[in-house]
Amino acid sequence: MSNTLFRALALATLLSAGSAQAFVIDGNLSDWGVQRNGNATGWTPDSSAFAYKTEDQHDSYLSPGYGGQAYDAEAMYVAWNASTLYIAIATGHNPLTPNNPTGNSYGAGDVAIDFGINGSFDYGIELLGSATTTAGHVYSNVNWALGVWKSNGAWTGYYDPNTAANRALADPAHPTSILSGTDRGTGAVAYTTVGQNNYGVWPGDLHYFYEVAVPLSSFGADWANGANFRVHWTENCANDSIWVDATATHQVPEPGTLVLLPLGMLGLIALRRNKPSA
C-alpha cells in the first residue's frame, strides 16, 4: 500500500471516529437495540442507551388515567454524545390522533426536560409543531399545558387540558404540550404513523415511535454543569406518562468510535515507521 493511500486511510478513520453519530433519526429504534421479537426482552436496548425505562401494559386503566393501548406510553430511551442529546419513545398512541377533548380524543404531547429534577421542567422539545412552535426545536421558559388528572389521580372535572380552571387543578408533574416558550435551538424529530405489532409480550398491540436529536448547546449551563435531569413525555390528556432520569456528563465514546480510533492510530504509527529516514 502506498504511503499516500495509507495516510488517507488513517486520516479518514480518525475523522470517522470523531464524527460518528449513534443514531439515525428515522423513527426506527433498531439502532438502539430494540427488537421486534414478540418478547418482553425486545424492549431492552443495547449499550447505546445511557438511561431507559420500559413498560408493557395491556390494561384499560393506565396511570393515572384510562385509554388502554391507544394512550399507552410504552418505553423511553436517552443517550448523548459530545454535541447531541438523543431521545426515543415507544407508545401505543398514534401521533396523528386528533386533539379534540370534547370528543374524548387527545393528541400527542411534547418532550419535557427538568434539570435538577425539582418539578420545574425548564425545557421542552416540540415533536409535531403547532401554530406557535416548530417541530424539533428546543424551548426554554415554557408555558406548559397540563393533563386532566389531579396529583391524587382523580379527574379534574374538565375535558380540555388548556382551560385555566383545569390547569389550576391538574398535576404539574405531568406537563403535556408546549403552549409558548423561548426558542433555544434547532434539532430533528422523526415519528411513525403506521402501527407496528409484535413488540413486547402482547404481539397484537400496535406501537408508534418517536426519535429526537437536539444540540446540547440548547441547554446552556444546565448541561455544562452536569446536573441530574428528567426527560418526560405524555399525551395531552396525560392518561399515561413515562420519564427517564439521568445525569448530564461529558461524552462517553460510542462503540463504533472505540473501534475506529485505535485503527486510525495504528495506521498513523505504521505510516511513521515506514517513512524514509532523512
Statement to judge: residues 33 and 127 lie in one domain: yes
Please give the tally of structural domains in the chain: 2
Percentages helix, strand, coil for the chain (3-state, rounded to 5) are 25, 30, 45
Statement to judge: residues 16 and 78 lie in one domain: no
Whose grid coordinates read 454535541? Answer: 83
Q: What is the pLDDT of residue 273?
A: 52
Statement to judge: residues 120 and 215 lie in one domain: yes
Statement to judge: residues 194 and 66 lie in one domain: yes
Whether cis (ω within 30° of 0) applies to the bond prior to 45 is no
Which phi-psi region, left, alpha or beta, contains residue 186 (left: φ > 0; alpha: ψ -120 to 50)? beta
Q: What is the pLDDT of residue 249?
A: 83
* 156: helix, strand or coil: coil
pLDDT < 50: residue spans in the chain: 1-20, 253-254, 256-271, 275, 277-278
Beta bridge partners of 182: 140
Q: pLDDT tens for residues 165-194?
A: 999 999 999 999 999 999 999 999 999 999
Q: pLDDT tens for residues 14-61?
A: 333 333 357 999 999 999 999 999 999 999 999 999 999 998 777 787
Q: What is the pLDDT of residue 265?
A: 45
The domain of 262 spans 1-20+254-278
Beta bridge partners of 113: 123, 231
Q: What is the pLDDT of residue 250?
A: 55
* Phi, psi at 168, each rounded to 5°: -70, -25
Statement to judge: residues 8 and 122 lie in one domain: no
How much is the mean pLDDT over the chain? Answer: 86
Burial class, 50, CB count within 10 angstroms (exposed 0-12 / middle 13-18 / buried 19+): middle
Q: What is the pLDDT of residue 163?
A: 92
Statement to judge: residues 120 and 140 lie in one domain: yes
Statement to judge: residues 126 and 230 lie in one domain: yes
Statement to judge: residues 261 and 201 lie in one domain: no
Which residues have CB under 8 Å from 172's CB, separation 6+? Answer: 119, 144, 146
Statement to judge: residues 261 and 247 lie in one domain: no
Statement to judge: residues 212 and 277 lie in one domain: no
Q: What is the pLDDT of residue 129?
A: 95
Statement to judge: residues 179 and 109 lie in one domain: yes
